[in-house]
Amino acid sequence: MLVAVSEFPGVLRVGDLEVAVSVSERRKSVRLTVERDSSVVAIVPPQVSKAELVRMVENKRTWLYGKLAEKRDLGVPPPAKEYISGEGFLYLGRSYRLRIIESGCVKLIRGRLELPKGGGAKELVDWYRRVGDPWLRRRVPSWASRMGAELTGLRVRPLGYRWGSCSQDGQINIHWATMQLPPSLIDYVLVHELAHLQRPDHGPDFWRIVDRTLPGYAEHRERLRRAGNNLWLPEEGR
Ligand SMILES: [Zn+2]
């Protein structure tokens, strides 16, 4: 049971931190957490005084700032695109500005991503798939041979919120949105899927294969998790 106690106004200010305080009869010690929405919450046993709680929050300040910074890095999803000149789109980790042209097809030319008037998400998703296909086909053989993986085919397509998938007959699928990532992270996605051709699960043997191929994969995995929040993923292309 949670009861707000009069000594605590609900929100306790400690320096520039705001802590939402609740009292629980059942708690023996203070529980301090940073929630998904970046709010700091303390659940305290009834006998804890305000002064004690302030001291505790101060002692945990470094930890709290670290947690809050982590949430901030994950950020909020980018705003919806309007498909107007000047808007930035990522390709291989670099941002290219959109230029609306009278007619023609989507193409990357002289540092601009050209989109015919009236075009939008569908045309751009098609473009990522069209350029992603040959790019990945050139990239994947050296990884496959290094790993001794028997790759039978590769497709670039929407895959919901997954970067890649593979099937038992040796085919791997890569999400078109992956083409927005820098090449080093695309390599991680490829290596991950190629490793699944040998190990379908995420057990220790699987990660051993990944680590042998890409030492320090944990850093890539973390970078990928963060990068994922900044990618453009319209409803049509999921
Ligand atoms: Zn996997």
154-167 pLDDT tens trace: 999 999 888 999 98
10 pLDDT above the threshold of 80:
no
Domain boundary among 74, 89, 122: 74
Distance from residue 203's CA to the centre of ligand 1 (Å): 10
Mean pLDDT score across all residues of the chain: 89
| 230 and 141 in a common domain | yes
Instruction: Specify if 227 maps to a domain.
Output: yes
Distance from residue 128's CA to the centre of ligand 1 (Å): 22
Compute the distance between CA of residue 174 and CA of residue 179 in angstroms, rounded to an integer: 9
Closest by Cα among 204, 164, 208 to 186: 164
Compute the distance between CA of residue 234 and CA of residue 82 in angstroms, rounded to an integer: 11
Closest by Cα among 198, 176, 199, 187 to 223: 187
Instruction: Specify if 108 maps to a domain.
Output: no
Q: What percent of the chain has pLDDT over 90?
A: 57
Instruction: Specify if 120 maps to a domain.
Output: no
| 231 and 147 in a common domain | yes
Domain boundary among 26, 49, 74: 74
Instruction: Specify if 146 maps to a domain.
Output: yes
How confident is the model over 97-114, as pLDDT tens digits? 999 999 999 999 999 999
183 pLDDT above the threshold of 90:
yes
Q: What is the pLDDT of residue 142?
A: 96
Instruction: Specify if 154 maps to a domain.
Output: yes
Closest by Cα among 154, 152, 148, 172 to 162: 172
Distance from residue 81's CA to the centre of ligand 1 (Å): 30
Distance from residue 196's CA to the centre of ligand 1 (Å): 7
Distance from residue 159's CA to the centre of ligand 1 (Å): 13
Between 59-68, 134-143, 168-177, the lowest mean confidence (pLDDT) is in 59-68
Instruction: Specify if 126 maps to a domain.
Output: no
Name the pLDDT band for 195 (thresholds 50, 70, 90).
very high
Q: What is the pLDDT of residue 78?
A: 67
**Model confidence, pTM:** 0.69
Q: What is the pLDDT of residue 18?
A: 82
Q: What percent of the chain has pLDDT over 70?
A: 92
| 136 and 224 in a common domain | yes
Q: Which residue has the higher pLDDT, 84 or 63?
A: 84
Q: Which residue has the higher pLDDT, 139 or 56?
A: 139
Q: What is the pLDDT of residue 8?
A: 63
| 140 and 228 in a common domain | yes
Distance from residue 195's CA to the centre of ligand 1 (Å): 8
| 153 and 65 in a common domain | no
Distance from residue 186's CA to the centre of ligand 1 (Å): 14
Distance from residue 65's CA to the centre of ligand 1 (Å): 31
Distance from residue 165's CA to the centre of ligand 1 (Å): 7
Domain boundary among 29, 53, 74: 74
Distance from residue 192's CA to the centre of ligand 1 (Å): 6
Instruction: Specify if 181 maps to a domain.
Output: yes
Distance from residue 9's CA to the centre of ligand 1 (Å): 47
Name the pLDDT band for 9 (thresholds 50, 70, 90).
low
Name the pLDDT band for 5 (thresholds 50, 70, 90).
very low
Distance from residue 199's CA to the centre of ligand 1 (Å): 9
29 pLDDT above the threshold of 90:
no
61 pLDDT above the threshold of 50:
yes
Distance from residue 207's CA to the centre of ligand 1 (Å): 10
Range of the domain at 138: 132-237
Instruction: Specify if 119 maps to a domain.
Output: no
82 pLDDT above the threshold of 50:
yes
Is the Cβ–Cβ distance between 206 and 199 less than 8 Å?
Answer: yes
| 229 and 151 in a common domain | yes
214 pLDDT above the threshold of 90:
yes
Q: CATH no. for residue 157? A: 3.30.2010.10
Q: Over range 165-190, report the average pLDDT.
A: 95
Phi, psi of 197 (to 5 degrees): -65, -25
3-state secondary structure of 136: helix
Question: What is the count of structural domains for the chain?
Answer: 2
